[in-house]
Chains A and B, each alone.
Chain A
């Protein structure tokens, strides 16, 4: 069954519109997905609601399906690509004359989850902002160059993964030091945007609508001192960053000794394992940077759930944590964070 053979939905309240749309993006059916969106708009649906209630909601379902091992990574990527096309279709159908200021919307350096940010950009455009969408993975210097060239009234910075927090801090500081206030968003900034405030962001919003509300009042806020929050990394953070490679390599060597089958891994498996160990270090470093073990315990809980869906026993993750812990005996804060992670695993 494809969408072209069924009647297009009339409104977002149709009970199966979400399911149908999910099926289409999951099948990589770009035309079907765009057709649904177009039909909804033709029937008078609010473009903002189509973006939030259909496209964004479906995208979070896609993430869940992948985490639960029900969808492959290829299918997830395909679905994301189709959703971007659907979003472009919404965007092309709704022209708005800019009445507010100019805003730059970007993902933090190293951050690839562009779709939620693209939706934010479209929502802001509908609200009358002149939006410059810089997309995923924006290196700090590119962002600052853009600010000098366009002089926007705000930067909306997205961070989906807590590992990017140190780089987000650099970006926030850079924006504020050229006089542009920053509104932060995305789950990477923690519950209630806890870490956004710690990193000196001028505002935080839980979602696109929250960001629009926040930007509609008392903006721009006065920027007192761009260096209000200094470098947050202490000596433990610095040690971890400097010795990331060694920590990962040593853990790998010891893993091979403790668990001989790893010795016969293919290069691909070897790389994957190194990458997983690297994640342990990165989340640990981020937790140290913002001085909050929750960065790490969230990562552990999440990874454990993903492993479970793939029938990998949690002991595998625990081995990884222990291998790191053994190398960090002289670093009490890091040890405490890892222990909190291990405790999460036992729960």
Chain B
């Protein structure tokens, strides 16, 4: 067993965990983050990617609204390249209560969120695809945030300050010694290697999975998982975030995210035991489409690329099983104070939007326990990529350099080289070059195709990987020297398929039909014998080949 010693170990590679890693590292603490899968693979990467202005919460939860608008302003500065300042509209449709608009504007004013009331004509001018039946709109400083790149940028910055990421490392137990948590036992899920990490402070930032972490210490933190489903459409049907000006309800936010738009979310309470097996149902698809059309009628004839769902970690403190004391705000628990078990801090609840604040709160608690007096600087120091240096790349076309800068800010200069091989476009839908892929593997801890997608958008466009997966797999295999590139293609395509299957009609079905033909007929993927040479694969083997090989040890 490998043994590592550090000051702080953080469990969970979502935005919050990455934020804690960065904050700890910046304050001079030695810190290691362990994540059982890849970064941003949980709830962080499965939501709208909405940079709230707080307006959505203004009427119902003023405290959250104030948190949001404060973080909104901070992120627009420190995470410039992960943010798009699109602005947002809260539209009133004929079926909505017309008086709500005034209530809404007043509440926003109280929370310090600037608003501007637009006439229908003005709204249509700034957002031509918005439902022309609207009665009015309020403009607010909503925006969009890319959760994958935000998390990756936090990790990258943390690493540059000495922090470490161990992804694909699952915590299997807490190390408890003399009434004190003093580390975690982990397993690398790819190699099977066992690792013990000893630390003075353990931060549980595992989100919905945090309940299991607490159970290792027989502590009670009860999660009430709520599933939320979303749809992605092929291109940006809207330029601004569009909300309904009414009390928050299902499927009433349409967010432009990078090259696409997202409609969501539904909300359904599910048993905790189901959190690993959630899927988007046909009924949810119908609701999302019907409500999406009300925001932007063009949705009705726009191709849906994918569907996905995530789990919101709503939390109940204490032993109350009813969920009456459920909290939607940030929850910070120092188990030393609450449960008499020092060494463990749980940070949960909150939103993607407030990840930095949550990280600051958790790190403050850690610092206090460790006697570290360094001030938090995450609100003022820009993340890598958020700088203002210009990237000069005359050797590539505007769509290529523009897309690279959009994703990586000034760090794009590191891979937009004067080298034809590096500048060759690999993913044609999203304009990802070989250089960007190499950068993601070398600098952003991408280990395989699926990880690569979250760092670069490889395979996230309309083709859903059928053209670029093999190209990228070949490059990753060259770079990592690992020979399971073939398995990684199947795993990647299966991951894509999971999102396509709930919306399999029209052009998505055509795309899948072609993809199936190319993968299995032209390239004969299914005919590949398994790597141990025991003859051809069965259907199940192909489906789960990647996983089997990984966990086979």
Q: Do A and B bind each other?
A: no
Chain B interface residues toward A at CB < 8 A? none
